[in-house]
């Protein structure tokens, strides 16, 4: 199941006006209900997360809350059951809001941005247009502090500040925090609020179940005048829930505290591990109250993607390569895999490449055609035994295999 095919073929639309955006999506996302919900490629992990919430909540309602309804006076047992059901439903709805919405994906460009200047290091022939190179990074001033923004080769755009490219979803996400496997989605600008509310409400649900399990055990002890250990033995479901919630609360509770710290200092998880703002100035920190207000009380920006809209015809045509007119990518001359990993790149010998291209052009000029379109003769230096496709001779000049005459005819047209 992938982003281009999920959701059914009916989204192609009546009237044949073209496909919908989610059907031509280049990321690794999974779309549900014809583009109304967007998930990450690991969306199946949601089943595990939902089971880890629903299963203990169901056990609590069946074996603990139900018994408390009979033991509490004045009808106080019924609110315990209702509160558990409502709390669980609320927690699951926050999970869906976190995992099923656009986290802040920046749409890709169909083409690279226009180069801003010439690359003075390139050496080309006088008859050729000098190549233009995009800078790898750009400096942006945020609250008086210079922040570097990087160029994304996949999305062909300069990432805004606090934006990062998720390698799992294959999208650039605004205010990227992390990719959470438990919710199967990136956590970013548009769903971070719901993510924290989900984690915090899960913590409260664990404490709720843990507390009332102890209440039930104490009531058994008091009613039967037995020890606490014998009372625990009479309700194995409570024992299982106590162990489960005790372990879970350390995980979700610790996560809640950690993200509370991040919100109070206006950091993301990615920034906290990568930039270490405790050792350098944080350009986004505006004070604890303003930082918390920015997360919970500011308007959530509208999505920059309309997944159920028609793909414009020019955009469909723009997916095909266009002439670069001498444009050079920021990563031209850098070995694949060296860009993000920080390894020493392989040198790009532009003068050597220009010389090789010139030698190849001279060799093509020696190939003459007769009136029937066949080769009349070739340079006597180009022997069949010494030539190889795309090879070099002893002097380092490019050569061509005369056996590939069809290529030569095409190039001569």
Q: Which residues are catalytic?
A: 180
- Is 163 within 8 Å of 174 (Cβ atoms)? yes
Question: What is the rounded CA–CA span in Å between residue 298 and residue 190?
Answer: 11
According to DSSP, the residues that pair with 368 across neighbouring strands are: 377
Question: What is the rounded CA–CA span in Å between residue 63 and residue 138?
Answer: 60
Write down the residue that tokens 């919630």 correspond to. 245
3-class state of residue 138 by DSSP: strand
For the record, the structure tokens of 296 come out as 């919970």
- Largest Cα–Cα distance in the chain? 114
Q: How far is CA 72 from CA 80, 220, 222, 230, 236, in A?
A: 10, 12, 13, 21, 20
Sheet holding 137-142, edge to edge: 137-142, 145-152, 157-158
Radius of gyration of the chain from its Cα atoms, rounded to whole angstroms: 32
Question: What is the rounded CA–CA span in Å between residue 112 and residue 154?
Answer: 10
3-class state of residue 332 by DSSP: coil
**DSSP structure class, residue 118:** B
H or E element in which residue 354 lies = helix 350-365
């Amino acid at each position: 199941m992938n982003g281009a095919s999920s959701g059914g073929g009916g989204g192609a639309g009546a009237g044949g006006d073209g496909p919908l955006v989610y059907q031509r999506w280049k990321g690794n996302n999974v779309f549900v209900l014809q583009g109304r919900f967007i998930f990450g490629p690991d969306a199946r992990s949601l089943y595990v997360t939902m089971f880890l919430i629903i299963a203990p909540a169901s056990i609590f309602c069946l074996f603990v809350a139900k018994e408390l309804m009979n033991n509490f006076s004045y009808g106080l047992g019924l609110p315990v059951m209702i509160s558990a059901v409502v709390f669980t439903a609320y927690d699951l709805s926050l999970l869906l809001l976190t995992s099923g919405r656009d986290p802040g994906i920046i749409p890709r460009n169909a083409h690279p941005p226009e180069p801003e200047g010439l690359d003075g290091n390139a050496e080309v022939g006088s008859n050729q247009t000098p190549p233009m190179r995009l800078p790898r990074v750009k400096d942006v001033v945020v609250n008086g502090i210079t922040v570097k923004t990087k160029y994304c080769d996949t999305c062909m755009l300069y990432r805004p500040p606090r934006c990062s490219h998720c390698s799992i979803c294959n999208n650039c996400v605004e205010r990227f925090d992390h990719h959470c496997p438990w919710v199967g989605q990136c956590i970013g600008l548009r769903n971070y609020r719901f993510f924290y509310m989900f984690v915090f409400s899960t913590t409260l649900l664990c404490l709720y179940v843990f507390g009332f399990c102890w209440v039930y055990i104490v009531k058994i002890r008091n009613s039967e005048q037995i020890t606490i250990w014998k009372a625990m033995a009479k309700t194995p479901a409570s024992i299982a829930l106590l162990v489960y919630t005790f372990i879970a609360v350390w995980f979700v509770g610790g996560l809640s505290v950690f993200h509370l710290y991040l919100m109070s200092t206006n950091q993301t998880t990615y920034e906290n591990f990568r930039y270490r703002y405790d050792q350098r100035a944080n350009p986004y920190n505006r004070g604890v109250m303003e930082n918390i207000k920015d997360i919970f009380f500011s308007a959530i920006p509208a999505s920059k993607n309309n997944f159920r809209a028609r793909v414009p015809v020019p955009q469909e045509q723009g997916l095909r390569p266009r002439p670069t007119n001498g444009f050079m990518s920021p990563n031209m001359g850098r070995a694949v895999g060296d860009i993000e990993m920080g390894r020493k790149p392989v040198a790009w010998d532009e003068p050597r490449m220009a010389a090789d291209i010139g030698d190849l052009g001279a060799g093509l000029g020696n190939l003459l055609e007769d009136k029937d379109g066949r080769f009349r003769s070739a340079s006597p230096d180009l022997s069949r035994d010494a030539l190889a496709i795309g090879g070099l001779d002893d002097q380092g000049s490019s050569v061509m295999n005369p056996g590939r005459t069809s290529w030569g005819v095409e190039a001569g047209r």
